[in-house]
Chain A
Amino acid sequence: MYNQGPVIVMELPQELTQAGASSFLESLQPLLETSRPCVVLDCSQVRHIDSAGVEMLLHCLGEAMKRDGDLKLAAVSPESAVILELMRVDRLFEVFETSEEAAHSFRNFGQAASAPTEPWYSTGYPGDSLKAAS
């Protein structure tokens, strides 16, 4: 495991089954409980994934999103991709070729998210003109 600034990159175990998934979750859970967790899971070592593994991924995604963060997948093998597609969860994750690309995407996301934005009603809100007129 290594931390690229605010982005946490973790390598998933070879066996992402019930036993493997729960032990992995134990190590990831504290990191998910931080503010705006940005997590990349490197799937390059995954050789076996089942519904427990997929459920763990969904749990992690849910935890990250609850805290305004995100979870992205990297280096997903064709076999793992087939399982994710089969279980209809592929569309829930952003998937990248490498963990570096995935981590980089968080930086862009962070910049975009932290850029100052004006309230959408500040220009041309009909209510303003109505108030001014009154």
Chain B
Amino acid sequence: MSGDKAVRLGAIVVIAATNTKNEPRDTAGSSLPTENDGLVAGPLACVEIAGRSAAERTVERLRKADVDFISVLITSDCASSLPAFRTRWDNVQTLIVQDVGCAISQILADYSQNGIAYTFVTWADTYLETDLLDLFYFHRESRQTVTRAFDGDAPLALWTVDCAKAQSLPIEQLLHGRTAAPYFVRGYMQRLSAPGVLRQFAEDALRGRCEARPCGKEIRPGIWVDDGGEIQRGARIVAPAYIGGRSKILSDVLITRFSSIERDCFVDCGTVIENSSILAGTHIGIWLDVCHAVVSGNRMLSLERDVMVAISDPSLMRSIGSARVLPPATSEPDRGQAVVVEAPREQHPMAPVWQFGANFIQE
């Protein structure tokens, strides 16, 4: 896009608890739960997969497309669940908003006043690897106020908006009116509508099926270990696999079949993690078999049996709360006010004695 730098581009990335902008698709044959089901507290777009959340990966893609300014809008109900981005960018602002529609209108007006001609508007829970440059050219040539991305017949939560022309239209009509020019996307896409999709996304990232790559250093072909990740001697990691930052893998652990262990996790001796994603800040106990599952804290979603199980025994699984600090964010009515995000509290505080069944063994 460097040849078009006379045209300034903006972007708005919305992070909300539920994505109502994507039309429902036929899920026949899918064994995945259709809702978050409480596996994670916030929106799935904020859950780190192979080191980065889908929201952060979307922002990164926009930056790579030479977008000049990006506004990340987080609804106030899920503001605390946004993990800090790994990289701090000067041209990315984070806003906590009550009403997404009003905020988008306001930002489009601001962009227009500041010389930004076109804006991408997207919801972070639709992870798309489409050619944004091609979308922009298509929009400019269509001479419409809005162009909306489509996947076959299904509309997606990605628009290109002419900032100046958009002032004359209400936001609902702007985004959901029938006047939008359709743009059919190509490339990889994940709708983060269910926790099981996180697993699919992790597997695709590890297998190289998409441009999203695991973070950290590839210590051996197909094995990525992030900063501070520790693998004890005797642990067996079968590629491809991802070990997150500050995670600790003890001896005799087996991690296999495209598994990802996110940051600040602890996997105790002898445990097998197979075809599973262990989300950030999870303690997995000794000699367990975690297969075909997504685990967060003391909750485990079995993808094979399609059930969510809350483990009450902290020696098996528990949350070990830790969080990155959110970069300075501003709430819409009171810009400039920093928002402090508390570290998530432990769901099950560590017991003073190690407990397994009826036996109490002093540490």
Q: Could you tell me which A residues sit within 8 Å of B by CB distance?
A: 17-18, 21-22, 48, 50-56, 78-79, 81-83, 85-88
Contact = CB atoms under 8 A, between A and B. Distances in A.
Given A79-B309, A83-B309, A87-B316, A21 B288 contact: no
A85 B289 CA distance: 7
Given A51-B316, A78-B307, A79-B307, A88 B287 contact: yes
Nearest to B315: A51
B291 A85 contact: yes
A55 B357 contact: yes
Interface residues of B, number: 21
Nearest to A87: B288
Interface string B310-329: 01110110000000000000
Contact of B288 (A50, A79, A81, A88): A88
Nearest to A85: B289
A78 B309 CA distance: 9
7 contacts: A50-B313, A51-B356, A55-B356, A55-B358, A78-B307, A86-B316, A88-B289
Contacts of B355: 51
B184 to A, nearest CB: 40
Interface of B: 287-291, 300, 302, 305-307, 309, 311-313, 315-316, 355-359
Contacts of A87: 288-289, 316
A53 B315 CA distance: 14
A25 B313 CA distance: 20
B302 A82 contact: yes
A90 to B, nearest CB: 9
Contacts of B302: 78, 82
B90 to A, nearest CB: 46
Contacts of B356: 51, 55
B305 A81 contact: yes
B357 A22 contact: no
Question: 3 closest A-B pairs (Cβ-Cβ)?
Answer: A55-B357, A52-B357, A78-B305
A61 B253 CA distance: 27
Contacts of B316: 50-51, 86-87
B306 A78 contact: yes
Contacts of B313: 50-51
B309 A82 contact: yes
